[in-house]
Amino acid sequence: MSYAMAAPLQAAVYQLLSTDAALTALVGGAIHDGLPAGPVPETYVSLGPEVVRDRSDRDGAGALHRFTVSVISEAQGFAAAKTAAAAVCAALVDATPTLSRGRVVGIWFERAQARRTGSAGQIRRIDLKFRARVEDA
């Protein structure tokens, strides 16, 4: 197994999201790798946790990355969050970005969970789960 492609994959996912015209039209530059500092925008995207499993074979090292991208919104209703979540999916599903190490075999959507959070349920959060298969080159 190799965890060596984790950082390059994360950088590629961030690049795909931050350069996607449809997503940036909805959230601007509010795509983060953690909670934004200072006041948070009404709707933003955050890269989240990942779980990685070995998928090496006799041809070489590889890994399956299961990762989360979250859309968080204080807009009324779920419409804004769901529209941004759909744009995240469109930007990532079936993408094969170039990595600084290794290669992406594919990125696939697995599932999503939409819920209200915050003390009064005023925050909408959609956690999108993806899987990416990478091979070390």
Is 65 inside any structural domain?
A: yes
CATH number at residue 49: 3.30.2000.30
The residues near 54 (Cβ < 8 Å, ≥ 6 apart) are 1, 62, 63, 64
pLDDT by residue, tens only, the chain of 137 residues: 678 999 999 999 999 999 999 999 999 999 998 777 788 899 999 999 999 999 988 888 899 999 999 999 999 999 999 999 999 999 999 999 999 999 999 999 999 999 999 888 899 999 999 999 999 97
Domain span including residue 57: 6-135
| Domains of the chain: total | 1
Is 48 inside any structural domain?
A: yes
Q: What is the pLDDT of residue 1?
A: 63
Q: What is the pLDDT of residue 57?
A: 85
- One-letter-per-residue 3-state SS of the chain: CCCCCHHHHHHHHHHHHHCCHHHHHHHCCCEECCCCCCCCCCEEEEEEEEEEEECCECCECEEEEEEEEEEEECCCCCHHHHHHHHHHHHHHCCCCCECCCCEEEEEEEEEEEEEEECCCCCEEEEEEEEEEEEECC
This prediction has a pTM of 0.93
**Cβ-contact 72, 84 below 8 angstroms:** no
Is 1 inside any structural domain?
A: no
CA separation for the pair 121, 64 (Å, rounded)? 34
